[in-house]
Structure 1
Amino acid sequence: MNGNLQESYRRCCELARRAGTNFYVSFLTMPRAKRQAMCAVYAFMRRSDDMADDAGSPQGALAGLRAWREMLAVALDGKESGDPILPALADTVHRYGIEHRYLFELLDGTEMDQTKTRFATFQELYQYCYRVASCVGLVVLPIFGYRDPSALGPAEACGVAFQLTNILRDVKEDADRGRIYLPAEDMRRFGVSEEDIMKNRYTPAFVELMRFEAARARDYYAKAKPLLELISPDSRGTLAIMMEVYGRLLDKMEARQFRVFDGRTRLSGCEKFWIVLKNWRRR
């Protein structure tokens, strides 16, 4: 590995470490090469999100994402892109045989956030979840290591489960940004209006709606569970940590009766540490 590539991986790992997300703590159980690859993927995801969030306007975000898409294509073609994290990503993609289309579909999802703030049906929301989350699972699946093509389905379901959990956790934060990800068809079914969400009204109808969406998320966690036995043993700890962290977030929201308007549901550092410790040597 040449000096420039080493520096690119170092930057990616530092970015992932500084972010301190639920994902990063799970990477610690992997062999070094796989951990570096996961950091390269995470850095690409983080850079894509930041580019959209920091643009100041949807038009600016879309312009930035179009330029980022072009830089990604250049890097994946083996050429110098000008961005310090893309050499590590391109090396990871080549090393693990990751399909390029999933990275571009991930950018499609990031662009959706700039143009779509409501979802009429769960089918529409599923497409969004697939792009922003399932595609991440399909990118990292070759890093995890698998041989059976049947792993693709659970990997897709896992991304949907994680994203649905994020959506339930972030109802207030998204409403503050003018976004509602809860499907309109479900809101009508339970008698919850857009105004209820935008004004943070905690009602019995809202609780029932959230309970319904949480049950849907749990269905996808169940569909994702077989993935643990379909990936390489040295990656199972990482996936088990991710699934338990997100699963416990869902548990906490349910235990709080979905009082998501009162503040973001989080796991404490001690809770995360225990989950990592429990799964450290999982094989």
Structure 2
Amino acid sequence: PDRRAAMYAIYTFCRLVDDVADEDAPLAEKRKLLRGWRQIIAGIFAGRTNNALTRILRVAVLQYRLREADFIAIIDGMEMDAGAPIVAPPLPILDLYCDRVASAVGRLSVRVFGDDSTSAEDTAYALGRALQLTNILRDVPEDAKRGRLYLPYEYLRQENVATNPEAAVVSPRLPFVCLRVAKLAMRYYKEAETSMAHCDQKAMKPARIMLASYKPLLMALHHRGYDYKKGRVSLPKWRKMMLAAQIYLP
């Protein structure tokens, strides 16, 4: 397929496994569905296809040298969300989550964009984490209503904020936790910008658009002092933006 068709197929795969994680079904049923997706991915890499999506992904795998491990990482990330709500994860677990649900998508995307260099991999590593941390900061109140709290345990403890989602979201110390997460995200944005400078500039145009869209969202949250009573800072989910940004692909 062309780059756009390949990107749309990757986006569709992500959306479908995300839907499994988010649906209101017993954990055993979700795990069964995700196991099914693992088998589908294994089949694609073994040359077995049975519908339009798997056929397009099979061609994309061959054409852009996509890696099975990145597809599996995305499923692993959704499995983390499928079980008990994630609440105050330790930093290494938060980093693993960001890698699976965001950076792995980036690793597939940069190859489709046309750059499989080490610098492109580094861009995916950093930009994925930056985007996901920004999403986490944007969605703190909404996540708390669902019993989730993605802010790291270490920062919550150091700022004397409860690890209970409902208590954390009303804590006067919450902005200090958010500031620390924002600093981490900003570090990753800077790392992504540095890596991007060494990449194929035409291939990286969608990634640059993502960075240029999401970094101001982080700054807007910062200027509000992470005061969620002021309403939600809105931007489409980054996966949808990635899909939109790929209109700039050659």
Query: TM-score range with shorter-chain normalisation?
Result: 0.7 to 0.9
- Please give the alpha-carbon distance, in whole angstroms, between the structure 1 residues aligned to 2:194 and 2:249: 15
1:178-197 aligned at under 5 Å gives the runs 178-195=147-164, 197=165
Percent identity reads 32
Matched, 1:40 2:9: yes
For the aligned residue pairs, the C-alpha RMSD in angstroms reads 2.6
Give 3-state SS (helix, strand or coil) of 2:203's partner.
helix
Structure 1 partner of 2:185: 217
Cα distance 1:85–1:267, how it changes in 2: closer, same or farther (>3 A)?
A: same
- Please give the alpha-carbon distance, in whole angstroms, between the structure 1 residues aligned to 2:202 and 2:129: 24
Count of residue pairs brought into register by the alignment: 242
Q: Which runs of 5+ in 2 are unaligned?
A: none
Matched, 1:61 2:24: no
Matched to 1:222, the amino acid is K
Residue 200 (structure 1) shift: 6.3
Residue 120 (structure 1) shift: 4.0
Work out which of the residue numbers 139, 146, 164 in structure 2 matches 1:177.
146
1:244-259 aligned at under 5 Å gives the runs 244-259=212-227
Matched to 1:212, the amino acid is R
Matched to 1:266, the amino acid is S
- Please give the alpha-carbon distance, in whole angstroms, between the structure 1 residues aligned to 2:228 and 2:196: 30
Residue 122 (structure 1) shift: 0.9
- Please give the alpha-carbon distance, in whole angstroms, between the structure 1 residues aligned to 2:162 and 2:62: 47
Give 3-state SS (helix, strand or coil) of 2:120's partner.
helix
Kept in 2: contact 1:165–1:217 (CA 8 A): yes
Kept in 1: contact 2:10–2:57 (CA 8 A): yes
Cα distance 1:202–1:257, how it changes in 2: closer, same or farther (>3 A)?
A: farther
Kept in 2: contact 1:144–1:235 (CA 8 A): yes
Kept in 2: contact 1:200–1:261 (CA 8 A): no
Residue 35 (structure 1) shift: 2.0
Structure 1 partner of 2:100: 131
Give 3-state SS (helix, strand or coil) of 1:191's partner.
coil
Structure 2 partner of 1:231: 199
Cα distance 1:201–1:160, how it changes in 2: closer, same or farther (>3 A)?
A: closer
Kept in 1: contact 2:80–2:97 (CA 8 A): yes
- Please give the alpha-carbon distance, in whole angstroms, between the structure 2 residues aligned to 1:111 and 1:261: 31
Kept in 2: contact 1:170–1:260 (CA 8 A): no
- Please give the alpha-carbon distance, in whole angstroms, between the structure 1 residues aligned to 2:71 and 2:77: 10
Kept in 2: contact 1:145–1:231 (CA 8 A): no
Residue 42 (structure 1) shift: 0.8
Matched to 2:166, the amino acid is M
1:65-104 aligned at under 5 Å gives the runs 65-81=34-50, 83-104=51-72
Residue 281 (structure 1) shift: 7.7
TM-score, structure 2 as length reference: 0.86
Residue 187 (structure 1) shift: 0.3
Matched to 1:165, the amino acid is T
Q: Which runs of 5+ in 1 are unaligned?
A: 2-32
Structure 2 partner of 1:243: 211
- Please give the alpha-carbon distance, in whole angstroms, between the structure 1 residues aligned to 2:104 and 2:229: 29
Structure 2 partner of 1:153: 122
